[in-house]
Amino acid sequence: MAGNKTFTMIKPDAVAENHIGGITKMIEEGGFRIVAMKKTRLSEERAGKFYEVHKERPFYGDLVKYMSSGPIVAMILEKDNAVEDFRKLIGATNPAQAEEGTIRKVYAKSIEANAVHGSDSDENAQIEGDFFFAADERF
């Protein structure tokens, strides 16, 4: 059975351009409840650890630099079928391919600076949420 939690980050470009409110509005209107929320900044080392699964990909170095370039907003979200439904709400990785009404269609600037992250499995949602939040920071 699909889990009811996913993890997201509002990425540095979207935070810098004052889109925290617009993006959280789309998230809540999409039927998700914000269980945990934190504005923070990843060091290069921590960004490298978060994206360790992409270590062998050609874009890894740039991705780590970009994700540590400014503050981000981390959130745990709750909804039935959360992982799959959230990936539908954010749209394709490349905003040029993102569907109308998706967060990336509205806010992403490029394939790298694409406004938001969304977990790709229940297992990773758990791991990524635990990366940012203690038990007493979830409600």
Would you please indicate which residues are annotated as catalytic (active-site) residues?
Answer: 117
Angstrom distance (rounded) from CA 99 to CA 106: 9
CB of 94 vs ligand RTP, minimal distance in Å: 8
Angstrom distance (rounded) from CA 11 to CA 69: 10
Please tell me whether residue 63 binds ligand RTP under the rule CB under 6 A.
Answer: yes
Angstrom distance (rounded) from CA 48 to CA 44: 6
Annotated binding site: 11, 59, 87, 93, 104, 114
* Segment interacting with ligand RTP, rule: CB under 6 A, options 13-21, 25-33, 68-76, 110-118: 110-118
Angstrom distance (rounded) from CA 9 to CA 56: 22
Please tell me whether residue 111 binds ligand RTP under the rule CB under 6 A.
Answer: yes
Residue numbers 80-109 binding ligand RTP by CB under 6 A? 93
Angstrom distance (rounded) from CA 86 to CA 69: 25
Please tell me whether residue 112 binds ligand RTP under the rule CB under 6 A.
Answer: yes
Please tell me whether residue 24 binds ligand RTP under the rule CB under 6 A.
Answer: no
